[in-house]
Amino acid sequence: MTDHPADVAAMKDLLLANGYVADQAIATALFLALTLERPLLLEGEAGVGKTEIATTIAAGLGRPLIRLQCYEGLDVANAAYEWNYSRQLLHIRAVEAAQGGAIDLATLESDLYSEAFLLKRPLLQALEAASEGAPPVLLIDELDRADAPFEAFLLEILADYRFTIPEIGTIAAKQPPLVILTSNRTREIHDAVRRRCFYHWVDYPSLERELAILRLKVPEAPEVLRREVVRFIQSIRQMDLYKSPGIAETINWAQALTSLSYVALDATAVDSTLGTLLKYQDDIQKIEGSEAARLLAEIKTEARTAQAAAEADGDGA
C-alpha cells in the first residue's frame, strides 16, 4: 500500500503518476478527505471525470476499489446485505431430515442468521475490508440516481462508518474507508448527506489542463492536432448543446483523428468524425458544416496570431 501523501503537492504527483491530471482544488479536496477521514462528495456534469478520480486514487494508494453503482429502486438488500433465503431453506430441510422433524428452534434460528448465510453487498464489504486490512476506497457512484430514502440509510455509514444488522448487531470499520460519492445533479442530494461530506464541484477542465490530459493520454497525437482539438472542444462547450462533450470524448476524438493520420483539423476531419465527439444527432447537425468551418477559421486565426506574437517576443529578446 502506498504511503499517505504528505501534502497536497504529493497528492497531485500521486494522481499524475497514475494517469490523472488534477488541479489544485481537486488534489486539496482528496488530501483533506483522506487525512481527516471524511467522505467526499463530487458533483459535476456527466463526463467530467468524477468516477475517474476515485479509481485513480485507489490505484495510487494501492487500495481495493469497491463500487456501488446507484440506480432508481436501490435498497439495503442490494447496497449493504441480504439473507441468502434459498440457502437458509435448504439448511432447514437438512436439519429436519437429520433430526427426524425434531428441531431445536432457538439453535436453528441462531444458525440461520449467522454470517454463513449473509450475502455481503458493497457497503458491508467496504466496512469489513477496512477492518481486515488496508482500508478500501468506497465509490458510491451517481447517488442522485438512487431514491431519496436511500440517503437516510447512508447517514449512519457516512457519520460513523458503521451500520446495524438487526439479527447480528452493529458492524463497524476499525479503519474508515475513503468514501467518495458522485452526483450528476439530476436531483438535489439531501442536506443531511452534504453535511457529513467534504464537497467539490468538478468542472470541465481549463484549456491548459485539457491539453495536459491529451498529452498524457494520447501521446502519439501531433501537438498541433492536440491543441486544435482542445480549442475546438472548448469552443463548442460554450454552445447550447444537448450534451457537451466530456473529457472521455476529447480523448476518443484525438485518438480517432490520430488513427486516421490527421496532423491538424480541417473541415473534412471534423465532419467525418463528429460521431466520436457528440452523441446526439441534433448536436451533430448544429455543429457540422458551416458552423464547424467557422470555428475552425477562428482557431486557425488565433493560432497564427499567437505564433506571430511569440516570434515577435523572440525577436525582441
pLDDT in tens, 157-179: 888 898 888 888 888 888 899 99
What is the tens place of the pLDDT at every residue in 62-84? 999 999 999 999 998 899 999 88
User: What local confidence, expressed as pLDDT, does residue 148 receive?
Assistant: 85
pLDDT computed for residue 89 by the predictor: 86
Please report the pLDDT score of residue 310 as a whole number.
Answer: 67
- Report the alpha-carbon distance of residue 123 to residue 128 in Å, rounded: 9
CA 176, CA 162: separation in Å to the nearest integer?
9
Q: Does domain 8-77+121-201 have CATH number 3.40.50.170?
A: no
Model pLDDT, residue 315: 63
- Strand ranges across the sheet with 178-183: 65-69, 137-141, 178-183, 40-43, 198-201
Give the three cell numbers for residue 171. Answer: 458492524
Question: CA distances (Å), 213 to each of 9, 225, 284, in order?
Answer: 18, 14, 24
Residue bearing cell 434459498:
86
Q: Could you tell me if 161 and 80 are in contact, meaning their C-beta atoms sit under 8 angstroms apart?
A: no
Mean pLDDT, consecutive 10-residue stretches, the chain (317 aa), reads: 83 96 96 95 94 96 95 91 88 75 67 84 89 84 92 87 87 91 94 95 95 96 96 95 94 97 94 95 94 92 78 64
Sorted by where each begins, the domain ranges of the chain are: 8-77+121-201, 83-112, 207-316
CA–CA separation, 82 vs 63, rounded Å?
Answer: 26
Q: Are 137 and 63 a contacting pair, CB within 8 Å?
A: yes
- pLDDT value, residue 240: 92
Check if the beta carbon of residue 57 is closer than 8 Å to that of residue 22: no
CA 256 to chain centre: 24
**Dist. CA 231–CA 184, nearest whole Å:** 25
Cβ–Cβ < 8 Å for 203, 48: yes
Query: What does the pLDDT read at residue 101?
Result: 59
